[in-house]
Amino acid sequence: MEQTQWYKNSVFYQIWPRSFRDGNGDGMGDLYGVLQKLDYIKSLGCDGIWFSPLYPSPGADCGYDISDYMNIDPQFGGMEAFKAVLEGAHSRGMKVIMDLVVNHTSDEHEWFQKSRRRIEPYTDYYIWRPGKKNGKLPNNWDSHFEGKAWTYDEVRKEYYMHLFAVKQPDLNMDNPLVREEVKKIMRFWLDMGVDGFREDVITFISKKKGLPSDHLLPVYKGIFMYNHGPRIHEFLTEFQNDVLLNYDCMTLAEAPMVTPGIALKYIREGKGQEFSMMIQNETMCADCFFQDYFPRKFSLRRLKKAFRNWQEKLDGKGWNMLFLENHDHLRIISRYGNPEYREASGKMLAAMYLFQKGTPFVYQGQEIGMVNWHPGDPEMYEDVATRYYYAHHNQKASPRARLHKLWRCSRDSSRTLMQWDATANGGFTTGKPWFYVNDNYKEINVARQDGDRDSILNFYRLAIGLRKRLSCVRWGKYREYSKGSGWLYQYSMQDDRQRILVVCSFSDQTKKYKAPDGFYLDTGKLLLCNYSDPDPAVLKPYETRVYLW
């Protein structure tokens, strides 16, 4: 099968199903709701949708704990509703990719239930170990969400490994039967017409032989023993050869702690390529270490360096995935922008990433400039990682300081209900919603922005439309200017037909501006700006401009 690399021309929209839209009034987002909004997604200029997990799941990690891989959860409308959405998307020229979560399953999955009872062939489907003689755990690895990576199972009388929540046991990918199951799942969805997968923490699937303890890291102990593990390329090549190469599909790999050099081992184009693209985390670390739980002051230099690193090092070798938000991160305006200049900074951030080379993803609500959620009570948080963190960290701090910490780090900020209009619950449901809506929904919502030419929403539409018409954005070369500046980010994209300059101010002050050498603004065409009266010699707070020559 010829792989056409269609994804290089696409812009994707990510749906986190629980909070996107409730179509049947039971308070839970569902596929009936998605069906009502396909035209909306299309109206953004998006031509692909990534669905966070839709499969049956007990919901311990909001669907990333799967109990049946070849079905759609009835709470989302079941298989019939999914097929209608798939057809509806395809008939509008939009592709659909599914989340493939195969590092772990739910502990309620039939495989785990049989494995804990040693029923063949499931006995070795998971990573089981007896405890050590001195009563210690099999090794010292940490889970990402809930304490140590091992939990004792009273049924099997052994420990099982879980790199995430207690209810997310890790699969034993060294077992060829498990790999066959993965391939079966892939074929099932691809045969139905799905266009590819976003593969959840897929670089974690091969654990170092002997599962040795880690004596180096203070947190996330063990991560170097399973991230990019010893058999990873062997497993991925097997998935490619046996399944993926038979379809014109794309794969997007979530890859915590990856550098462009390591990424190219997976995504270098040509024979042996294992994924179409990778989700790197470096551009999400301009205001934190590794992830949002370890905050540091935002640094534009750090952000620019990260984008530059990926734009330059993958150029001509591998393809970038571009994003600013997803269901694991806080809202970008509250992080890299400025909620006091919500509109200006939201538009600037959009232009900043939408004109780079790669495939952009827009996360639900990002396109209307949703901002972080500040609930009054820690009990309102739902996310398993947030709840564990709250119960076990910062206990000596004041209640207020503890709550503020959650405001700063919990991924629930991006999981509040999508704000469709100014009616109750932001128009998300007519029933009682499963989760909260941000109090600002009357001011920030789709209905209010849809008809307003100057809204963030219409800025996204404009920017995405422009991007699609500019060959230099997709095929040109990235070059950056004023690299040392702490407030100005500017880069050009150039191919043999055209050249654009993207100018982004990260300052809340009006600043003097001079274009880089060789760019004559009076001869360039101003394609996009977030102010109606731009002055070439200054940049207003969070001003952005895109010029074309």
Give the Cα separation of 513 and 110 in Å (integer). 62
Whichever of 73 and 200 has its CB closer to ligand GLC, that residue is 200
Site string for ligand GLC, 458-497 (x = CB under 6 A): ----------------------------------------
Question: What's the CA dihedral at 244, 63, 203, 79 to 10 degrees?
Answer: 0
Q: Is the peptide bond before 176 cis (omega within 30 degrees of 0)?
A: no
Whole-angstrom CA distances from 201 to 31, 66, 255, 388, 464 are: 25, 14, 6, 20, 28
Q: Is 293 in the site for ligand GLC (CB under 6 A)?
A: no
Pairing of strands 499-505, 488-494: antiparallel
Whichever of 54 and 351 has its CB closer to ligand GLC, that residue is 54
Residues from 153 through 172 that contact ligand GLC (CB under 6 A)? 164
Give the Cα separation of 520 and 111 in Å (integer). 64
Contact present, 237 and 260 (Cβ < 8 Å): no
User: What is the CA 537 to chain-centroid distance, rounded?
Assistant: 37
Q: Is the peptide bond before 121 cis (omega within 30 degrees of 0)?
A: yes
Contact present, 450 and 419 (Cβ < 8 Å): no
Burial of 443 (0-12, 13-18, 19+ CB in 10 A): exposed
Whichever of 281 and 507 has its CB closer to ligand GLC, that residue is 281
Q: Is 64 in the site for ligand GLC (CB under 6 A)?
A: yes
Which tokens sit at 408? 């700063």
What pairs with residue 15 in β-bridges?
Answer: 51
Whichever of 328 and 543 has its CB closer to ligand GLC, that residue is 328
Is the backbone of residue 369 left (phi > 0), alpha (psi -120 to 50) or beta? left
Pairing of strands 488-494, 538-539: unpaired
Q: Is 292 in the site for ligand GLC (CB under 6 A)?
A: no
Whichever of 101 and 350 has its CB closer to ligand GLC, that residue is 101
End-to-end CA distance of the chain: 39
The number of residues that bind ligand GLC (CB under 6 A) is 9
Q: Is 328 in the site for ligand GLC (CB under 6 A)?
A: yes
By C-alpha distance, which of 297, 353, 358, 365 is closest to 326? 365
> What type of residue is 133?
K
Whichever of 64 and 478 has its CB closer to ligand GLC, that residue is 64
Q: Is 327 in the site for ligand GLC (CB under 6 A)?
A: yes
Q: Is 223 in the site for ligand GLC (CB under 6 A)?
A: no
Shortest distance, CB of residue 168 to ligand GLC, whole angstroms?
A: 6
> What type of residue is 209?
K
Residue in 49, 201, 236, 528 binding ligand GLC, rule: CB under 6 A: 201
Whichever of 292 and 343 has its CB closer to ligand GLC, that residue is 292
Torsion sign across C-alpha atoms 228, 231, 234, 238: negative
Q: Is 381 in the site for ligand GLC (CB under 6 A)?
A: no
Q: Is 173 in the site for ligand GLC (CB under 6 A)?
A: no
Residue in 61, 146, 170, 325 binding ligand GLC, rule: CB under 6 A: 61
Shortest distance, CB of residue 517 to ligand GLC, whole angstroms?
A: 42
Question: What's the CA dihedral at 271, 276, 279, 282 to 10 degrees?
Answer: 50
Give the Cα separation of 7 and 314 in Å (integer). 16
Q: Is 146 in the site for ligand GLC (CB under 6 A)?
A: no
List, by residue number, the catalytic residues: 200, 254
Q: List phi, psi (to 5°) of 345.
A: -75, -30
Give the Cα separation of 66 and 64 in Å (integer). 6
Integer-rounded Cα radius of gyration of the chain: 23
Give the 3-state secondary structure of residue 15. Answer: strand
Residue, CB closest to ligand GLC = 64
- Residue listed under structure tokens 């996310």: 383
What pairs with residue 501 in β-bridges?
Answer: 492, 547
Whichever of 51 and 420 has its CB closer to ligand GLC, that residue is 51
Whichever of 162 and 304 has its CB closer to ligand GLC, that residue is 162
What pairs with residue 159 in β-bridges?
Answer: 129, 152
Residue in 200, 287, 367, 412 binding ligand GLC, rule: CB under 6 A: 200
User: What is the CA 408 to chain-centroid distance, rounded?
Assistant: 18
Site string for ligand GLC, 414-443 (x = CB under 6 A): ------------------------------
H-run or E-run covering 169: none
Residue in 49, 60, 96, 101 binding ligand GLC, rule: CB under 6 A: 101
Whichever of 101 and 332 has its CB closer to ligand GLC, that residue is 101
Pairing of strands 359-363, 12-15: parallel
Whichever of 279 and 418 has its CB closer to ligand GLC, that residue is 279
Footprint of ligand GLC (CB under 6 A)? 61, 64, 101, 164, 200-201, 254, 327-328
